[in-house]
Structure 1
Amino acid sequence: MKLNIVPARTGLVWVKLGMQTFFKQPLALAGLFFMFMAVMTLASLVPYLGFVLAMMLLPAATLGLMSATQEATQGRFPMPIVLLTAFRSNKQKTRAMLVLGALYALGFLTAMGASALVDGGDFARVYLGGATPTREMLQASEFQAAMWVFIGLHLPLSLMFWHAPALVHWHDLPPIKSLFFSIVACLRNFWAFAIFGLMWLAVLVLVVIGVTTVGALLGNPGLAGDLLFPVLLLMASMFFTSLYFTFRDSFEPPPEAAP
């Protein structure tokens, strides 16, 4: 396995390919993303351990969406079974993916727990949907400090898991090595990933402005609110579609890549 160093402009290419591929199979890719969201939501409803279970499933679910994108690039219609890609290979890969899931859940809970030490858990309750934020809460210095603690810990966690599920599946790496090579790839291609993130942020802002402008022109501000949520879900689906290309271009493909 060899790491590719890509130019900064590749970040823009990843965004473009994500959108183009999505519109090749919009029903399939959007439907799979909604299924992904539904599975995560249902998992989180399991009493006591639901949130941990949802976090454990996230790496495997992300791999499923990347596999769906790969199939779309090859002209195939990705079926729902593709979401189970992580568990349809050999036992060794399945076990490695479960280890990845456990490590991600542990890392996420550690970041959330560290933030709770700062503000007594207010940020954690808001983030997890257990509390409604008030203006006073959002302006509190402890709440803001807890938010930055969480971001500071979660960012490297995200980089470690960015490529890890794909490296386990397509390059047969063990979990710990996959985490190491994932964060190295993100750091070595820092400018490409920076442009990738900034471009998606710009697209998001333009979409929000566009939707609200349409509502204002039609004299129906409420329409913007009704449209914004499903539009943002479609944008999230395109974002997840683009993740496959960040992996594909960051590493040389194995001799015989698994589907």
Structure 2
Amino acid sequence: MNLNTVSPKEAHTWIRQGIWLFKQNPLGFLMLIFMYIFIAQLAVLIPFIGVLAVLVLTPTLSVGFMTACRLAILKERILPTVYLAALKSTPLVRKRILQLGLVYAALVMILSFILSMLVDFELLLPLLMSDKVTTPEMIQEIYLLLFYGGLFYVPIAMLMWFSPVLVAWENMPIPQALFSSCIACWRNRGAFFLYLAIWGAVLVGIPLTIGLVFDVFGLSQVATFIVAPLSMAGLTVMHCSFFATWKACFADQESAELIA
């Protein structure tokens, strides 16, 4: 395993490779994303425990999706049970991947606590619980939430981007996996910045633009039927492109060229 440094323009290659991967088995990948969203929505209905369970299992599910990418390259069938790939591995890997989930859950809880001191969630509660018209104060708190949430989540994302795969596939101890993931993201920060900027435009900018255009003509309901499938497809391709970032940052050159 190598730790590679790539140029910022590699971000376009990651996205192109993600599209290529998605095209190998679009139904299989869409099934996995739909399953995750459905399970997460059900878990949220269970106060605290459900959310905690999703957070703890996030690294496990990440390894499962990356394993599905491997299967797609090999032209093999993708089944829902691929999400259990890490748990079906050796007892040591199974133990470490669940411990990594606890680390991730703890980091997100700490982030939530910090945000609660910076953002007035009580002001946003009516907006979350009903269709109440937003006030300028609400809009300000929403922007603060997005700004601080994104800012403080960056270190967590750097730690967790590659660590599940490093634990499951490279048999790394958790501290080493977290450190290696963070170093890989930092060394390739230019590529990751452009990569995330592009996906931000695709997953946020485009749907908002479509919604605004249809709202002008009083067709907001129609916009939903267009934005929903586009967002689902974009989210799935983005997850496929995670495998391309792994190949570019850690695989040797010959292995990295396995995908278009």
TM-score above 0.5: yes
Change (3 A) 1:122 1:85: farther
The aligned residue for residue 251 of structure 2 is 252
Say how many residue pairs are matched: 252
Which amino acid in 2 is paired with 1:165? P
The aligned residue for residue 227 of structure 1 is 226
Residue 50 (structure 2) pairs with residue 55 (structure 1): no
1: CA distance, partners of 2:33 / 2:97: 20
The aligned residue for residue 88 of structure 2 is 88
Which amino acid in 2 is paired with 1:150? G
- Identity among equivalent pairs (%): 25
SS of 2:85's equivalent in the other structure is: helix
2: CA distance, partners of 1:184 / 1:199: 22
The aligned residue for residue 186 of structure 1 is 185
SS of 1:55's equivalent in the other structure is: helix
Deviations 1:182-201 (A, max 9, x none): 01100101111122112223
Structure 2, unmatched stretches of 5+, are 253-260
Shifted more, 118-127 versus 179-188: the winner is 118-127
CA contact (8 A) 1:41 1:54 kept: no
Length-normalised TM-score, structure 1: 0.85
The aligned residue for residue 156 of structure 1 is 155
CA contact (8 A) 2:124 2:138 kept: no
Structure 1, unmatched stretches of 5+, are 254-259
The aligned residue for residue 30 of structure 1 is 30
Structural RMSD (CA): 3.0
Which amino acid in 2 is paired with 1:155? V
Length-normalised TM-score, structure 2: 0.85
SS of 1:76's equivalent in the other structure is: coil
The aligned residue for residue 11 of structure 2 is 11
1: CA distance, partners of 2:220 / 2:183: 46
Which amino acid in 2 is paired with 1:136? P
1: CA distance, partners of 2:125 / 2:113: 11
The aligned residue for residue 256 of structure 2 is none
1: CA distance, partners of 2:184 / 2:118: 32
Deviations 1:8-54 (A, max 9, x none): 22111110111121122111110111112222222333344111111
